[in-house]
Chain A
Amino acid sequence: MTLYNALVEPFVEFGFMRRALTACLALSIGSGPIGVLLLLRRMSLIGDAMSHAVLPGAAVGFLFAGLSLPAMGVGGLVAGLAVALLSGLVSRTTELREDASFAGFYLASLAAGVLIVSLRGSNIDLLHVLFGTILAVDAQALYVVAGIASVTLLILAVVYRPLVAECFDPGFMRVVGGRGSLYHLLFLFLVVINLVAGFQALGTLMAVGLMMLPAAAARLWATTLPVLTVVAAGIAFASGFIGLIVSYHLGVASGPAIVLVASLFYVLSIVAGRGGMVRRHLPRPHLTG
């Protein structure tokens, strides 16, 4: 098998592979920067909780329209935003911190979602919702994913500076910038819509995979935020590309293949990254000044 056969031919031959790759590109561009900001805001696990929270909405969409990304996307968006708002409300009006209230709501959401899907669908349908079907992405779904990536970049351009400032120095930001809650809500909105984009490809359980794993890996290589976001998006896309190739040649499920490749990038970064184990523990010659 030549390199062309291995890496290029699957995408030349099959439209579904091209659409899947394009979806991965759009997902990477949107989810990469969002994952970095989640990581820096110490909300990595909240991203995971949110990805479960979209399930009941997606399940209701599935109940009415079957496996349709727009219907399930709208349902997921509503459910995700509802859980985000409720968790924020609970953490601001009670003693519970935001991570605890998220944990409470996402577990309820996950259980409700699985229950709703099981009302009508088969186990296969449930597997589709939980683990995604990126190879089944059609043109309509592609527009949704690409649209979400575009909206994400536009909104991020507007809220980037306050988000960064608030995360770095919340006390200063509260004084000079105000409106911290508004920016936080807008950010949660971006997290939810990117998870909605991700769940068609990777399912609700792993939608957060292309968000957090590349971000965590990139943190071990880059020292400044702009570079960090670009590296995260790059690792996400590379994971998508390699994952699709692996799934094509080995005949394994594409979603898990993509997330596993992203995990390999993560492990590689932990070992060999600028801030990883080897660099930190191997003696290296020091500089003169």
Chain B
Amino acid sequence: MKGTGITLRDVTVAYDRRPAVHHVEGAFEPGSLTAVVGPNGAGKSTLLKAIVGALKPVSGVVDRAGLRSRDLGYLPQAAEIDRSFPLTVADTVLLGAWRRTGALRGVDQATGKQAREALSAVGLEGFGRRAVGALSAGQFQRVLFARLLLQDAAVILLDEPFTAIDARTTRDLLDLVHRWHNEGRTVITVLHDFEQVRAHCPQALLLAREQIAWGNTDTVLAPANLLRARAMAENWDENAAICEQPAGTAA
């Protein structure tokens, strides 16, 4: 599969005028595997939401190279999903076929087979009829990865996919991330564990509301950058002035 790049042109996303992501500029190259890192409140999830179109930037442009939102594979944070919902594992995975089924069309045999194969690929063969509420956190995350497999998207965005997940599941799911990367898909993932980032992601974007560094992981995660990111995240100005930086002049 040929990946598609995502280009950010001076993107600012704000909640009630306060920027959560401030003048971010750069590109996720086609087929790249990039970790988005930064302290809590750095704007990582906000940036992902802006990329998938769930949040509208107050200035700047997210260029998805012609891809529509629905063509992206997106894994939200686990906390945003209602795990007590009375849905079966199979139905959850089949949501990944939305581009084909939409709201109305039925699930054909081929799609059903793909869903079963996706469940096998994440190690949950035969789990189709179980309720998602009966799964462990790790099993549930495997189900969501199976949904991503069914989506078969050229660009995949993961928001903290390994939070509160055991080591074995993390290893298995990281293998899937590598598989997507090797297939030429563009993968963007929010991660907290720097060792994980260094070991698995060639590219990184370090955010602290503003863009601290973007490029090769070793360069981005240099101690000076990490120190700067922490200082910026802790720097909350109650009386911040209006940002005068003209659009299109991001670093």
Query: Which residues in A have some Cβ–Cβ distance to B below 8 Å?
Result: 40, 158-159, 161-162, 164-165, 167-172, 174-178, 219, 222-225, 228
Complex interface: chain A residues within 8 A of B131 (CB): 223-224
Q: Do the beta carbons of B85 and A175 come within 8 Å of each other?
A: no
Q: Do the beta carbons of B69 and A178 come within 8 Å of each other?
A: yes
| Cα of A158 to Cα of B105 in the assembled complex, Å | 10
Contact of A223 among B54, B74, B133 (CB under 8 A): B133
| Cα of A225 to Cα of B80 in the assembled complex, Å | 20
Min CB–CB distance B103 → chain A (angstroms): 5
Given the contacts A158-B104, A224-B87, A167 and B72 also touching, CB distance less than 8 Å: no
Complex interface: chain A residues within 8 A of B76 (CB): 169, 171-172
| Cα of A170 to Cα of B49 in the assembled complex, Å | 12
Closest residue of chain A to B88 (Cβ to Cβ) is A224
Contact of A40 among B53, B86, B104, B134 (CB under 8 A): B86
Which of B92-100, B198-206, B214-222, B243-251 forms contacts with chain A?
B92-100
Which 7 A-B residue pairings sit nearest by Cβ, starting from the closest? A171-B76, A168-B85, A176-B98, A175-B52, A174-B54, A175-B74, A176-B70
Given the contacts A168-B81, A170-B80, A171-B76, A178 and B70 also touching, CB distance less than 8 Å: yes
Min CB–CB distance B45 → chain A (angstroms): 9
Q: Do the beta carbons of A169 and B54 come within 8 Å of each other?
A: no
Given the contacts A158-B103, A164-B87, A165-B95, A177 and B80 also touching, CB distance less than 8 Å: no
Given the contacts A168-B92, A176-B98, A159 and B86 also touching, CB distance less than 8 Å: no
| Cα of A237 to Cα of B31 in the assembled complex, Å | 57
Complex interface: chain B residues within 8 A of A223 (CB): 86, 131, 133-134
Grouping DSSP codes into helix (H, G, I), strand (E, B) and loop, the A interface class, with mixed when no group exceeds half, is: helix
Given the contacts A169-B81, A170-B80, A228 and B95 also touching, CB distance less than 8 Å: no
Q: Do the beta carbons of B103 and A169 come within 8 Å of each other?
A: no
Q: List 13 A-B contacts (CB under 8 A).
A: A159-B103, A162-B103, A165-B98, A168-B85, A169-B76, A172-B74, A172-B95, A175-B72, A176-B99, A177-B70, A219-B86, A224-B88, A224-B131
Complex interface: chain A residues within 8 A of B69 (CB): 174-176, 178
Max count, chain A CB within 10 A of own CB: residue among B49, B82, B133, B134: B82
What total of chain B residues lie within 8 Å of the partner, measured CB to CB?
30
Q: Do the beta carbons of B103 and A161 come within 8 Å of each other?
A: yes
Q: A40-B82, A168-B82 are in contact. List 8 more A-B contacts (CB 8 A).
A: A158-B103, A168-B92, A172-B74, A175-B52, A175-B69, A175-B72, A176-B74, A176-B99
| Cα of A219 to Cα of B84 in the assembled complex, Å | 11
Q: Do the beta carbons of A169 and B52 come within 8 Å of each other?
A: no
Q: Do the beta carbons of A168 and B74 come within 8 Å of each other?
A: no
| Cα of A172 to Cα of B104 in the assembled complex, Å | 18
Q: Do the beta carbons of A177 and B86 come within 8 Å of each other?
A: no
Min CB–CB distance B152 → chain A (angstroms): 12
Max count, chain A CB within 10 A of own CB: residue among B49, B54, B147: B54
Min CB–CB distance A215 → chain B (angstroms): 12
Contact of B80 among A40, A159, A169, A228 (CB under 8 A): A169
Complex interface: chain B residues within 8 A of A172 (CB): 74-76, 81, 95, 147
Q: Do the beta carbons of B103 and A228 come within 8 Å of each other?
A: no
| Cα of A244 to Cα of B168 in the assembled complex, Å | 58
Q: Do the beta carbons of B53 and A175 come within 8 Å of each other?
A: yes
| Cα of A156 to Cα of B96 in the assembled complex, Å | 21
| Cα of A165 to Cα of B52 in the assembled complex, Å | 17
Q: Do the beta carbons of B85 and A167 come within 8 Å of each other?
A: yes
Min CB–CB distance A231 → chain B (angstroms): 11
Min CB–CB distance B127 → chain A (angstroms): 14
Q: Do the beta carbons of A169 and B95 come within 8 Å of each other?
A: yes
Complex interface: chain B residues within 8 A of A40 (CB): 82, 85-86
| Cα of A168 to Cα of B89 in the assembled complex, Å | 12
Closest residue of chain A to B151 (Cβ to Cβ) is A176
Q: Do the beta carbons of B82 and A167 come within 8 Å of each other?
A: yes
Complex interface: chain B residues within 8 A of A177 (CB): 70, 98, 103
Max count, chain A CB within 10 A of own CB: residue among B54, B76, B86, B134: B86
- CB-CB contacts below 8 Å: B40-80 with A: 49, 52-54, 69-70, 72, 74-77, 80
| Cα of A222 to Cα of B131 in the assembled complex, Å | 11
Min CB–CB distance A187 → chain B (angstroms): 13
Closest residue of chain B to A223 (Cβ to Cβ) is B131
| Cα of A38 to Cα of B85 in the assembled complex, Å | 13
